[in-house]
C-alpha cells in the first residue's frame, strides 16, 4: 500500500478543485481560440457573438463537448494552436501567486497530465467504419452516428461559424443524399441526386439531377 507523504502527495494525488478550475480556464481559452479562428476566417462580429451566445448557457462539460464537435468539423482550428500555451494561460488564470504558477509550470509530470487531459477532451475525431461492405460513422468513443447502410460517405470539412450538426454526403442504391450524423440517419436531402459536391460558402452543397443543378 502506498504511503502518502508530503513529497509524493502532489504527484500521486490529483486535486479535484485544481482540475475543475484548470478545466474551466482551459475551456475559456479554447473558446477564445475559436473566436480568433472565426475572426481570421473573415467572420463578422455577429458570427462571433452567435458562437459565444451558443456556449454561454452550457455547463462546462457541455461546452467541452460542443467545442470538440466544432473542432472535429473545423480541424483547421488546430493549425498553429499550441496546447502548451493554452495550458499556460489556464494555469496563469488559476494561480493566485506567481511562485505557485512557476511551481505548476515546472512540474513536468503535472503539465504532461494536463496536456493529455486537454487533448482527450478536445481532440475527439469521428471515424468511418465498414460493415458488410457498407459504410457508417462512429464517434471517438465508438458510438454509432451513422449506421453502416451506405455505399459511400463523405464528411464535409468546411469553415462553419456555428455549433451545429453538419450533414454528411451519402450514397445509397446509386443515388446521393444528405443525412445528419445523429444516430438516427435523419435524411435532410432525399437520395435522388446523381452527385452532391461541397461548396466553400453557404448553401454548402451543390446537387445535380441530370442537367439540373440545385443548391442545398
* Mean pLDDT on 48-61: 80
**17-36 pLDDT, tens per residue?**
899 999 999 999 999 888 88
Domain range annotation of the chain: 7-122, 127-215
Query: Structure pTM?
Result: 0.77
**143-197 pLDDT, tens per residue?**
999 999 999 998 766 545 555 678 899 999 999 999 998 899 999 999 999 999 8
pLDDT exceeds 60 at position 43 = no
Please give the C-alpha separations between residue 161 and each of 1, 34, 41, 77, in angstroms, as whole numbers. Answer: 52, 9, 9, 12
Cell numbers representing residue 143 in the block:
458510438
Encode burial over 49-88: b for 16+ CB neighbours within 10 A, e otherwise. Answer: eebeeebeeeeeeebbbbbbbbbbbbeebeeebebeebbb
Amino acid at each position: 500500500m502506498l504511503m502518502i507523504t508530503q513529497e509524493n502527495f502532489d504527484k500521486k494525488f490529483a486535486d479535484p478543485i485544481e482540475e475543475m478550475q484548470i478545466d474551466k480556464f482551459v475551456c475559456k481559452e479554447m473558446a477564445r481560440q475559436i473566436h480568433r479562428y472565426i475572426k481570421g476566417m473573415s467572420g463578422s462580429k455577429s458570427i462571433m457573438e452567435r458562437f459565444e451566445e451558443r456556449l454561454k448557457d452550457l455547463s462546462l462539460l457541455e461546452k467541452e463537448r460542443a467545442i470538440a464537435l466544432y473542432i472535429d468539423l473545423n480541424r483547421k482550428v488546430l493549425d498553429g494552436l499550441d496546447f502548451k500555451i493554452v495550458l499556460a494561460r489556464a494555469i496563469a488564470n488559476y494561480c493566485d501567486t506567481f511562485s505557485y504558477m512557476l511551481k505548476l509550470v515546472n512540474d513536468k509530470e503535472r503539465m504532461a497530465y494536463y496536456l493529455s487531459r486537454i487533448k482527450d477532451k478536445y481532440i475527439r475525431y469521428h471515424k468511418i467504419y465498414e460493415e458488410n461492405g457498407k459504410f457508417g460513422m462512429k464517434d471517438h468513443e465508438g458510438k454509432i452516428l451513422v449506421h453502416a447502410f451506405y455505399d459511400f460517405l463523405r464528411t464535409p470539412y468546411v469553415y462553419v461559424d456555428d455549433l451545429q450538426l453538419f450533414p454528411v454526403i451519402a450514397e445509397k442504391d446509386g443515388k446521393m443524399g444528405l443525412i445528419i450524423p445523429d444516430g438516427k440517419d435523419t435524411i435532410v436531402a432525399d437520395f435522388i441526386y446523381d452527385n452532391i459536391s461541397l461548396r466553400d460558402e453557404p448553401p454548402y452543397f451543390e446537387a445535380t439531377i441530370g442537367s439540373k443543378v440545385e443548391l442545398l
